[in-house]
Amino acid sequence: MFTLQEVVQSIDHTLLNPAATEKDYRLLCGQAVKRAFKAVCVLPCYVPFCVQQLQNSPVLVATVVGFPLGANRAKIKVWEAQQAFADGAAEIDVVINIGALKDGHFNVVAEELQQLVQVARAFSERKIVKVIIETGLLTEPEKRKAGELAVEAGADFVKTSTGFNGGGATVEDVRLLAAVCGDQARVKASGGIRTWEQAEKLLLAGARRLGTSSGEKIVREYLEAQGSSV
């Protein structure tokens, strides 16, 4: 259904383990270059290191903001975003204020996201903002509303999950968010994606990016099935 190139170019090769070291990130970046993944998604303090590792490649560097709870004050998230872009990140994956959403304080969520998108655009129109709504903690109406707020704020992607707070990417959630986004934003599926079969199903459902720490495993699975060298 999908070619290897199509799948690898959808993958944000992710390492957000708090115990990860420079050695781990050097390996991550090397794998991303070898496999031609779209991006690496790394902890904020390792953005400069990964930018340096990838300076001669087309692989982008993404990092997280307000991660993994989304409960930082808006001005802290704004500062995190500014620092991430100043350090060379091309993309940020920001967790919404989940509690504010569930309380119905939609203006709080909207204003925060608008500020973050403005930060990105101030750096460059090419900077990307992905909004993590944490679908595993939301009802269906809340998922829909979160997606709508992200789209209205001008975000580039709505992302399903952090992978840290229960739940993960599902075909049903991707379809829902793809319908909400229409042609105004794209969907990133993230959380628990470990196989080629999962990757294909999520892409078929409408995802355009896949956040996974199993990118290398997914590629190897495909190549072994094809009888190709890994």
CB 92 within 8 A of CB 85: yes
**Burial label, 227 (beta-carbon count in 10 A; 0-12, 13-18, 19+):** exposed
Q: Which of 12, 93, 156, 173 is catalytic?
A: 93
Residues with Cβ within 8 Å of 29's Cβ and at least 6 positions away in sequence, in order, are 40, 50, 53, 54, 59
Q: Which of 38, 77, 127, 159 is catalytic?
A: 159
In angstroms, the first-to-last Cα distance of the chain is 20
159 counts as catalytic: yes
Cβ of 43: how many Cβ atoms within 10 Å? 16
CB 31 within 8 A of CB 209: no
Q: Which of 38, 77, 130, 188 is catalytic?
A: 188
188 counts as catalytic: yes
Residues with Cβ within 8 Å of 63's Cβ and at least 6 positions away in sequence, in order, are 41, 42, 43, 44, 47, 84, 87, 89, 91, 92, 93
Which residue is associated with the tokens 């990307």?
A: 128
Query: Mind telling me the catalytic residues?
Result: 93, 159, 188
